[in-house]
Copies of this chain bind each other. A is one copy, B any other.
Amino acid sequence: MGLIVQKFGGSSVANAERVMNVADIVTSTYKEGNDVVVVVSAQGDTTDDLIAKAEEINPGASKREMDMLLTAGEQISASLLAMAIEKLGYPVVSLLGWQAGFLTSSAYSSARIKTLRPERIRKELDKKHIVVVTGFQGVNRYNDMTTLGRGGSDTSAVAIAAVMRADRCQIFTDVEGVYTADPRKVPGARKLDAITYDEMLELATLGAQVLNNRSVEMAKKYGVELEVISSLTRAKGTIVKEDCKMEKMLISGVAKDDKVARFSIIGVPDRPGLAFKIFSKLGAKNVNVDIILQSIGRNGTKDISFTVAKEHMQTTLDILTPYVEQLGATSLVYDDQVAKVSIVGAGMESHPGVAAQMFEALFESNINIRMISTSEIKISVLIDIADADRAVTAIHSKFFTPDVVGQ
């Protein structure tokens, strides 16, 4: 039929039984007459176990040696999966990143794919082999092992699909697809049949991490059609592609991110360039600022508020605490008991009432909005962390009550 790339994450190959299950999926696809390239991550906790071993010996180990260590993880899972496929009686070969032709930059631990030369993969497919490739890894120009960073296996799979013009790239996970909200928390959450690349990117940055962002960006760039699908139920998943005309929904999902902190610098003198200086100081330390709100204070001063990821809270404090006085500002306050709730949807571009509907849902639930941020396909609000789950449910039922869907 065609060429299918299938990617399986660590939980999908966590133990012998799961590996056999994956072998069954792969060989079923092969039996249907497809060429199949399989990309695997390291088994379950292997990567974390290896990191723990390294930490015990040298917490300051070089990234080069860390990559040398970690690439052993996918080597183990790839060979085990190949053995499982052999057990089912199918021809198979496992290939390491470098054998599969992944040439990367030298940025150990977060290397970028520079070229993918798929000659060996092609040769094995010509021999009618199922090809199992280790995700997450490659070699640099010095022939040293590199890794693409966490979630890099998605990127490996999309790269193969892009270069080899695969008919589809299936990303198998332990969820059944992309949902309108977290199905464990929001009763009415439902699986989407399709979603655009941009919506998927917004959802990923909002904490609904189903696909690695770099992989979605690459899929968008090369027009690789993705399918997010469960390795356990094997039910039809969610297709990620450029245009999703079949569904005319206002929004495609509601997401919550409670790993944020809010900072306010009170009484900043109203002089040009001060905001720039503050944010460039943070940027220099790799602190990403998300929602920004500037309000006029008293006596020619203003208040600047913004959010950062909770993990950057201490760095932000360290940078700003001495700087506030220097700026001539009054004080610095912060709050980590906040959450960001967002709705995402390509449909909202042409429907101006979406924000109002979202705010109405929050108002009806008596939830106070502290900050607002919007983009073309996203609206985010910052609220108290205690209200977050209630907010997601209220917003979700506003948009996804059966009679409202498709309005």
CA distance A122 to B13 in the complex (A): 40
Q: Are B56 and A79 in contact (CB under 8 A)?
A: no
Chain B residues lying within 8 Å of A72, measured Cβ to Cβ, are 72-73, 75-76, 79
Q: Contact at A50–B62, with CB atoms within 8 Å?
A: no
CA distance A73 to B60 in the complex (A): 22
The answer to whether A75 touches B83 (Cβ under 8 A) is no
Indicate whether A69 reaches chain B with its CB closer than 8 angstroms: yes
> Is A19 located at the chain interface by the 8 A CB criterion?
yes
Q: State the Cβ distance, A102 to closest chain B Cβ, in Å.
A: 14
Name the B residues within 8 Å of A69 (CB-CB): 75-76, 79-80, 83
> Smallest CB-CB separation from A59: which chain B residue?
B87
Please, what's the 1-or-0 string for A51-75, where 1 marks a CB less than 8 Å from any CB in chain B?
A: 0011011101110111011011101
CA distance A96 to B69 in the complex (A): 11
With the chains together, A64 CA to B85 CA distance in Å? 14
How far apart sit A79 and B76, CA to CA, in the bound complex (Å)? 16
Q: Choose among A61, A65, A120 the residue with the greatest number of B CB atoms under 10 Å from its CB.
A: A65
- Bits for A15-33, please: 1 = Cβ < 8 Å to B, else 0: 0100110000000000000
Cβ of B82 and Cβ of A94 under 8 Å apart?
no
Please give, as numbers and ranges, the residues of chain B lying within 8 Å of A105 by CB-CB distance: none
Contact A94 B68 (CB under 8 A): yes
Q: By the criterion CB–CB under 8 Å, are B99 and A86 in contact?
A: no
A54 partner residues in chain B, CB cutoff 8 A: 79-80, 83
Q: Determine if B86 and A65 form an interchain contact, defined as CB atoms under 8 angstroms apart.
A: yes
Tell me the complex Cα distance, A50–B86, Å: 17
**Cβ-based interface call for A250 (8 A):** no
Given A94-B65, A143-B99, CB of A83 within 8 Å of CB of B71: no
- Choose from B20, B57, B83 the contact partner of A61 (Cβ within 8 Å): B83
Give chain B residues whose Cβ lies under 8 Å from the Cβ of A266: none
Q: Are B68 and A82 in contact (CB-based, < 8 A)?
A: yes
CB distance from A97 to the nearest CB of B (A): 12
Q: How far is the CA of A380 from the CA of B32 in the complex (A)?
A: 63
A78 at the interface (CB under 8 A from B): yes
User: A82 contacts which chain B residues (CB < 8 A)?
Assistant: 62, 65, 68
Please determine whether A53 and B16 come into contact, CB atoms closer than 8 angstroms. yes
Give the distance in Å from the alpha carbon of A115 to the alpha carbon of B403 in the complex.
Answer: 73
- Asked if A336 is an interface residue, CB under 8 A from chain B, the answer is no
Question: What residue of chain B has the Cβ atom nearest to residue A143's Cβ?
Answer: B99
In the complex, 29 of the A-B residue pairs with CB atoms within 8 angstroms, ordered by the A residue number, are: A16-B56, A19-B57, A20-B57, A50-B76, A53-B80, A54-B79, A54-B83, A57-B83, A58-B84, A58-B86, A58-B87, A61-B86, A61-B87, A62-B82, A65-B86, A66-B79, A66-B83, A68-B78, A69-B75, A69-B76, A69-B79, A69-B83, A71-B75, A72-B72, A72-B76, A72-B79, A75-B75, A96-B145, A120-B143
Task: State the 3 A-B residue pairs at the shortest beta-carbon distance, nearest first.
Answer: A61-B83, A69-B79, A58-B87
Further pairs besides A54-B83, A64-B93, A65-B86: 13, Cβ < 8 Å: A16-B53, A57-B87, A58-B84, A60-B87, A61-B86, A62-B83, A62-B86, A65-B79, A65-B83, A66-B79, A68-B94, A72-B75, A120-B143
